[in-house]
Amino acid sequence: MMARKVAALDVAYVASGPAELLERVGVLAVFDFGGDAPLAVDPRHVRIPLAGLGATVPHECWSVAAAVDSGHDGALRWSAGGGWRLTVVEVAEPAQGGIEAASEAIYRSLLAHIGSAPEHHLHRIWNYLDAINEGAADQERYRLFCNGRARALLAHGVNDYPAATAIGHRGPHGLLQVYALSAIRPGHALENPRQVSAWQYPRRYGPTAPSFARAMRLPDGSLAISGTAAVVGHASHHHDDVAAQADEVFANLRSLLDGARLPPFDARSPLKVYVRHAEDAGVVHAALARHLDPAVPRILLHGDICRSELLVEIDGWRFAS
Ligand code: 3EB
């Protein structure tokens, strides 16, 4: 059998409206941040429950150099083309019996869908839950989410973790949203030499270490970068100092790119910046200006980071220039 290659994947932040974008050839998804803009019936139109920080927030548009198909599978929505697949699923936690059970259920349905698709290699996953830091110690909602996720991954025999982001949203209470990128070809997970691998975090951070890789080298050679915070080794650094945390995030990102033998971010490196306190947006903007070429596309979003002392996190992509 001939190994099919994947088409080039691209992610861009664009001002155009969803209706116009969804008309274009090869559009895999259009993400709308925050607000309550009406959703198109199209399964490729995804509303993310994180508000933008800034005057106008562009849409995030995923496209491939190929024809795209899309549809529904029970509660899941999917689109696929060029060897890539986006799968989106949302659940109401109360209907599932709480965050831990909801997390396990959403991952089981997602993994079942992806596992039976041609694009069955899981590369990158995003997780959004509300009140992420609510609950004391091991009852913290993020830790309960990690328990459920790990159980589903184990049940499906997944031990090569995808790159991931897990962020707290301020949207509807009990809304758990997960979406994933998978492909017909495998990727290659990367770790960060400055950071202990998340799945090896010591017990003090929770009963189940988080199941994610620091980055994924995609089958087209691009790099998908996980949520990166001011974690050095396994410890959070610079409590209460968002500027110093942002500097530490960039030290982590540089170390990740160096490890992957990739040059610094450029116009083909869209980044998403999650900021816990809206009033920190100015300080974070200044940090981005210090560390990034002005051509690097970036979006600031209002979101909570999974440890309560962390104030800023960045994820993104580095596509071939
Ligand atoms: C960290 O380094 C910060 O649980 O999926 C970043 C990215 C973080 C993904 C996840 C958590 C996750 O531990 C938190």
Instruction: Specify the CATH number for the domain of residue 47.
Output: 3.30.1330.40
Residue 61: inside a domain, yes or no? yes
Ligand 1 lined by 132 (C-beta under 6 Å): no
Ligand 1 lined by 222 (C-beta under 6 Å): no
Residue 195: inside a domain, yes or no? yes
The pTM score is 0.97
**pLDDT tens per residue across span 274-305:** 999 999 999 999 999 999 999 999 999 999 99
Residue 1: inside a domain, yes or no? no
Residue whose token pair is 């803009």:
37
Residue 4: inside a domain, yes or no? no
pLDDT score of 64? 98
Mean pLDDT over the full length of the chain = 96
Q: Quote the percentage of the chain above a pLDDT of 70.
A: 97
**pLDDT tens per residue across span 238-285:** 999 999 999 999 999 999 999 999 999 999 999 999 999 999 999 999
**pLDDT tens per residue across span 162-199:** 999 999 999 999 999 999 999 999 999 999 999 999 99
Instruction: List the domain range (segments joined by +) for residue 52.
Output: 9-318
Residue 2: inside a domain, yes or no? no
Residue 89: inside a domain, yes or no? yes
Going from the Cα of 213 to the center of ligand 1, the distance in angstroms, rounded, reads 9
Going from the Cα of 3 to the center of ligand 1, the distance in angstroms, rounded, reads 33
Please determine, for residue 73, whether its predicted confidence score (pLDDT) is greater than 70: yes
Q: Could you tell me how far CA 133 lies from the centroid of its own chain?
A: 18
Number of domains in the chain: 1
What is the per-residue DSSP string for 32-99? EESS-PPPPSSTTEEEES--BSSS--PEEEEEESS--EEEEETTEEEEEETTEEEEEEEEEHHHHTSH
Residue 223: inside a domain, yes or no? yes
pLDDT score of 3? 63
Residue 3: inside a domain, yes or no? no
pLDDT score of 220? 95
pLDDT score of 134? 98
Please determine, for residue 2, whether its predicted confidence score (pLDDT) is greater than 60: no
pLDDT score of 41? 83
Please determine, for residue 39, whether its predicted confidence score (pLDDT) is greater than 80: no
